[in-house]
Structure 1
Amino acid sequence: MVAISSPGIGSGLDINGLIGALMAAERLPLGVMNARKDELNTDLSAYGRLKGAISDFKSAMGSLGAIDKFSVNAASSSNDGVFTVGASSTAAPGSYSIDFSDNGTNQLAQAHRLTSLDFADTSSSIAATGTLRIDLGGNSFDVVIDASNDSLDGIKNAINSATDNTGVTATVITVDSGSRLLLSSDKTGAANSVTLSDVSGNVAATLGMTTVSAAQDAIFLLDGHQVTSASNTVTGAIEGVTIELNALGATGTTETLTVSRDIGAVQENVQAFVNAFNDLQGMIGYLSKGDLQGDNTLISIQSEMRNIFNTAPTGLGTSLQFLSEVGIKTTRTGELELDTSVLNEKLAEDFNGVAELFAHDDQGYAFRLEALADRQLAIDGIIDTREDGINARIDRIDAQIENFEYRLTLTEARYRAQFTALDGLLSSMQSTSNFLAQQLGSLPGSAAG
């Protein structure tokens, strides 16, 4: 039977209470260590918020930190029903005539489609077997048709599941006259026609495929010159421009394709630059008054940013030197604000100059600020080094806490052993006292008179 222990029952001492009070006093340093650890975790969280703000700032700089970021073009079509258009950064502003009218020559690109003769149904044998070769634009693959798959469904499945299928899709249809096998090229263009032949047997001969729609290229006129394309998505006709042909226009009509600078997109990017800077400054201000008050890291970041804003770029092909000249000014609170009317005026006057002011390789403001953000966010950068130091201190405190808690366990065990011994001693003394009192009480003349 397990003995039931109740500390202090023999002596009447509140041993658990005494040990609890002593251990509470012993644990006071542990509270101090945990409080310091909480402070360090708060600092670590603050650096995380700072990194997030710098990362957002870096992203905004990325929209302006390279010259090609200013090559933002807007492309438009005078008739989206005839064609739509998109432009990349390599496109040059300009206007082009597009004749995609129904003039007997212009046409949309289309894929080759073929149909077989009529058969009774899709699952019955067509009474033909052998090796069927299917060629798409000079690239062919073979399928074997035997008694297990000599139906329209079987042939369809054999074609679609062929691992070396070069781009032909088979389907079956059932119409009033019977069931048919349909084949279509996955690619448009005159060069992508589909042909069937028998390597052995008579499957192609039995199917009797005929053309439903011929393989053909798209044809249209660009500034009076013919353009031929295997696809209705035309690239390369105008550098950096993608034309999507949709439908022939009315006979005798000509449409216009226009590529222009997307000033609105540039303005949005500059406003994002201003907003990101203000957000970063706001976060730095918040942290400098709170969790990172007096922190040298914040002071260093602000100092480096001020140095960039106060240092005019050199070697630019423009007379522009400071952001204030393009409408970005500093308010009394230290934030930036953008005057869009000034920016738009400068973009109209000297678009390339504004681009250089922001994005010149090595000298542009956005280029230098993005490089600064990269350094600050880099492994072994100023923030990463600070975080490593904090994490190292947290690790040391964790080790101290673990060691201290182990010592507390030993201390409590020692107290409990000591008080248990004291409890036993007092209990023994109490028993002896009671025995002596009993013996003395039994002596003659000890009774009260």
Structure 2
Amino acid sequence: MATSSIGSGTAAIDVAGMVEGLMAIENRPLVALQSKIISQNLLISDLGQLKSKVAAFQTALQAVENPDSYSAAVASSSNESAVTVSSSTGALIGSHEIEVDKLAKPAQYIFANSAFTANDALAGFTTGTFDLIVAGETNSLAVDSATTIEDLSTFINGLGLNVAASITQTTSGQYALIIQGTQSGEDNDVTFSAHDALSADFETNNALAGFTATGTFDLIFAGETKSLAVDSTTTIENLRTWINGLGIDVAASIESNVSGKYELIIQGTQSGTEDDVIFGLRGASISSAAAVLGSDTAYGNQAQDAEFTLNGLDFKRATNNISDVLSGTTFNLVSTTVQAATITLAAGPDNGQEVIQAFITAFNDLTAMSKKLTQKGEGSTAAGSLAGSPGTLFFINQIKSMLSTGITYESGGVSTALDLYELGIDINSDGTLEFNAVNYASTDSLATILASGINIGSTSFSDTENLDAFLTSQIEVGGDLNESISNEQDDLYQMSEKEVALQMRLDSKQKSYISQYSSLNALLFKLNNTSSALTSALAGLVDGQNNN
């Protein structure tokens, strides 16, 4: 609030100066509180950094204890044109024989027809339904004589499934429809079938059905599948005879049409959707599929799983990228093999020193941070935020104590002790750790010990009350260090609330002072004016008397 001095002579009061002086005294508790808030924020920040140092030390500790951290295996293949291999942590040293019998493949079907002279050519349907079955899920499209291959492509690509369709130009003025799965493996197979939509013509009543490979023709009636093994010698008469011999409500006949050719007619003998008749093809590359699209050239492949033999055991996977057979090892099947390839996992270079050095660095960073927080202010050295309460960091001493407990590992089922110096770790007089390469190199079978796993801060290898567990108890939710941070944050919140309340009271106090002293100043001004008037009046009276 703006203030000013009002008056003349010696009677005026400097309201602004008066209020400023009074508020300087009133503000002392607020200034002290704000100083505490600054210190509290610094303390919380320091504790947060300390927690990060503890977490980093725990990560380094876990790396030292974890056998997967050491001697990462180097993987190789004797036949990279058939099998490539890579390794990660956990890979076991050794050699493995692998034979690749089949590669995983997605389904793919290609339909060509001399009538497909444009990318929107008629597909060749009569009225009916085209079904696309992807991974066992059926998706249906109503079709008729106006349906084009572009309609099919749009329908398939709009399904949002692991299947794609495209139309490609094969030669000048000729196109083909390609339908293919986008995922390999039998579980991702793509097949199709038709309801009443076939329109293929045959030259004779005993013509070859047009199957181009050994496979299976499926007839699905009322939800029940009947299958017939077919090959390139299967005729339409074979199909008719087989269907009529099934003893179900489906009949097949061969009829001549107006063009002098023959048609195989398959129809249900009962009405109703429950008696629907569907048929499809598996692996026979694909007369029935060709008939579905009126194609005079059609071929394709079913989706298939990868099949391989590893160390005499047979395996089957939906993908050629195999990562769940050998621990820490991924191999990629590139081609089938004539003879077995050898996968070799050899020991890599010793990286134990680097792992232990990282552990030492993380510990020294943690102890340096704790010293900084608890140092006393001397000379130009500022006091740490925990100088007044060093007990907060007592857990650092517990960490050092657990390190002194030593290390255990398991040998022949027996827990065996190991000293820090045998890992190449020396404890200096100032409490820091230092790597000793001579001791590290002189410890017998150390690489083997590290590769089997060690336990730091316990007297038994199987003891879970170790240094790792203690660190977790400090930094986890509800842990001691985490709770200390939470408590300090609560204190900061209360201080901030008190600051707001105190500031509001001081603002009110300042307004009151300004009002009081402004009123007093106005009164003094009025009194001063009255005094001046009286003085003038008295002077006039005296002058009048003197004149008389």
Q: TM-score, normalised by structure 1?
A: 0.81
> Residue 385 and residue 311 in structure 1: after superposition, are their counterparts in 2 closer, same or farther (change >3 A)?
same
**Deviation for aligned residue 1:256:** 3.1
> Residue 296 and residue 34 in structure 1: after superposition, are their counterparts in 2 closer, same or farther (change >3 A)?
same
Query: Is contact 1:70-1:355 (8 Å) kept?
Result: no
2:109 is aligned with 1:114: yes
2:507 is aligned with 1:409: yes
For 2:331, the equivalent position in structure 1 comes to 243
For 1:211, the equivalent position in structure 2 comes to 299
**Deviation for aligned residue 1:442:** 1.8
For 2:385, the equivalent position in structure 1 comes to 291
Could you tell me which amino acid in structure 2 is paired with residue 429 of structure 1?
Answer: L
2:454 equivalent among 351, 357, 361:
357
Could you tell me which amino acid in structure 2 is paired with residue 282 of structure 1?
Answer: A
Query: Is contact 2:323-2:329 (8 Å) kept?
Result: yes
Q: Distance in 2 between matches of 1:173 and 1:437?
A: 116
Could you tell me which amino acid in structure 2 is paired with residue 112 of structure 1?
Answer: A
Could you tell me which amino acid in structure 2 is paired with residue 162 of structure 1?
Answer: L
2:327 is aligned with 1:329: no
Q: Distance in 1 between matches of 2:153 and 2:444?
A: 60
Give identity over the alignment, percent.
Answer: 24
Of structures 1 and 2, the larger Rg is shown by 2
Q: Distance in 2 between matches of 1:321 and 1:159?
A: 66
2:399 is aligned with 1:305: yes
1:437-448 matched pairs, under 5 angstroms: 437-443=535-541, 445=543
> Residue 43 and residue 193 in structure 1: after superposition, are their counterparts in 2 closer, same or farther (change >3 A)?
closer
Deviations 1:318-363 (A, max 9, x none): 5442121121222344322334575467584562466443369984
1:382-397 matched pairs, under 5 angstroms: 382-397=480-495
Query: Is contact 1:67-1:356 (8 Å) kept?
Result: yes
For 2:522, the equivalent position in structure 1 comes to 424
Query: Is contact 1:113-1:183 (8 Å) kept?
Result: yes
Deviates more, 1:14-23 or 1:257-266: 257-266
> Quick check: which one's helix share is greater?
1
Q: Distance in 2 between matches of 1:236 and 1:390?
A: 48
**Deviation for aligned residue 1:194:** 4.3
Query: Is contact 2:106-2:180 (8 Å) kept?
Result: yes
> Residue 416 and residue 368 in structure 1: after superposition, are their counterparts in 2 closer, same or farther (change >3 A)?
same
Query: Is contact 2:374-2:390 (8 Å) kept?
Result: no
**Deviation for aligned residue 1:308:** 0.3
Q: Distance in 2 between matches of 1:360 and 1:445?
A: 109
2:355 equivalent among 240, 252, 269:
269
2:245 is aligned with 1:159: no
Deviations 1:205-244 (A, max 9, x none): 1343632456555456645777665532235654554321
- Secondary structure of the 2:182 match is strand
> Residue 5 and residue 402 in structure 1: after superposition, are their counterparts in 2 closer, same or farther (change >3 A)?
closer
Structure 1, unaligned stretches of length 5 or more? Answer: 101-105
**Deviation for aligned residue 1:115:** 0.8
2:85 is aligned with 1:85: yes
Query: Is contact 2:406-2:459 (8 Å) kept?
Result: no
**Deviation for aligned residue 1:45:** 1.4
2:184 equivalent among 181, 188, 204:
188
Q: Distance in 1 between matches of 2:543 and 2:468?
A: 107
> Quick check: which one's strand share is greater?
2
Q: Distance in 1 between matches of 2:404 and 2:107?
A: 65
2:58 is aligned with 1:63: no
Q: Distance in 1 between matches of 2:185 and 2:502?
A: 79
**Deviation for aligned residue 1:405:** 2.6
Query: Is contact 1:64-1:270 (8 Å) kept?
Result: yes
For 1:436, the equivalent position in structure 2 comes to 534
- Secondary structure of the 2:517 match is helix
Structure 2, unaligned stretches of length 5 or more? Answer: 200-288, 376-383
For 1:130, the equivalent position in structure 2 comes to 128
**Deviation for aligned residue 1:116:** 0.6
Q: Distance in 2 between matches of 1:367 and 1:148?
A: 77
Q: Distance in 2 between matches of 1:6 and 1:191?
A: 89
- Secondary structure of the 2:455 match is helix
2:381 is aligned with 1:381: no
> Residue 40 and residue 81 in structure 1: after superposition, are their counterparts in 2 closer, same or farther (change >3 A)?
same
Could you tell me which amino acid in structure 2 is paired with residue 210 of structure 1?
Answer: A
2:352 is aligned with 1:256: no
Query: Is contact 1:75-1:86 (8 Å) kept?
Result: yes
Query: Is contact 2:7-2:524 (8 Å) kept?
Result: no
Deviations 1:86-144 (A, max 9, x none): 346665321124466xxxxx55443332211230212233342421233457x252421
Q: Distance in 1 between matches of 2:195 and 2:444?
A: 67
Query: Is contact 2:423-2:443 (8 Å) kept?
Result: yes
> Residue 297 and residue 173 in structure 1: after superposition, are their counterparts in 2 closer, same or farther (change >3 A)?
farther
Query: Is contact 1:86-1:241 (8 Å) kept?
Result: yes
Query: Is contact 1:65-1:370 (8 Å) kept?
Result: no
Query: Is contact 1:288-1:298 (8 Å) kept?
Result: no
Could you tell me which amino acid in structure 1 is paired with residue 507 of structure 2?
Answer: T
Q: TM-score, normalised by structure 2?
A: 0.68
Deviates more, 1:216-225 or 1:254-263: 216-225
Deviations 1:23-71 (A, max 9, x none): 2222122212211221122111111111111121122233344566669
- Secondary structure of the 2:140 match is strand
Count of residue pairs the alignment pairs up: 436
> Residue 318 and residue 356 in structure 1: after superposition, are their counterparts in 2 closer, same or farther (change >3 A)?
farther
Deviates more, 1:206-215 or 1:218-227: 218-227
